[in-house]
Amino acid sequence: MLRRLDLRGSVQDVRSVLPRPAMAGEGPLDEVRAILADVRQRGDIALLEMTSRFDGADLEAIRVDPAEVAAASDRVQPGVLEALEVAAEAVRRHHLGQVRPERRTDEDGLVIRSLSRPVERAGCYAPGGRAAYPSTVLMTAVPARVGPGWTRSSSAFLPELMAESPM
């Protein structure tokens, strides 16, 4: 049952009425640190084991062979690739509008700058399971390739893009 509180005109500290739950230790941080250390030490072998452990997917390799990607593309129903390309272009146009020249605020000696800068790598994750989520790939991978100086004919803005999805 929700408790209704009317704090209008109250001098009472809101935090005393709505206390935040106490944080119990560091939560999953120790496990995350152990996973990161394992991946740094053992590389792809550790990633394959973690994929099996967390996603239930037993993979032979991290990268998908380009021939397998091409073969999968050939199995897509007619019209689906075209629809995905139209959607990708709409996502590109939207995110191009978000790339702005440098913005600068100078107030009483405090300077704040907002810059759009390219990155060399981006990683995208699309959930797996019982359904495919191509929209998630579009909404993460396409914006990752948009940046200052980007043109439709060039993806040089982002030299390396990795997408991951459990199968």
Domain ranges in the chain? Answer: 77-167
55 class by beta-carbon count within 10 Å (0-12 exposed, 13-18 middle, 19+ buried): middle
pLDDT of residue 155: 45
Residues 41-58: tens digit of each pLDDT = 999 999 999 988 987 888
Fold of 77-167: Rossmann fold (3.40.50)
Query: What is the number of alpha carbons within 13 Å of residue 143 lying toward its C-beta?
Result: 13
From CA 25, how far away is CA 28, in angstroms rounded? 9
Contact call for residues 57 and 167 (beta carbons, < 8 A): yes
Q: Spell out, as residue ranges, where the chain has pLDDT lower than 50.
A: 152-156
pLDDT of residue 30: 87
**What's the pTM?**
0.58
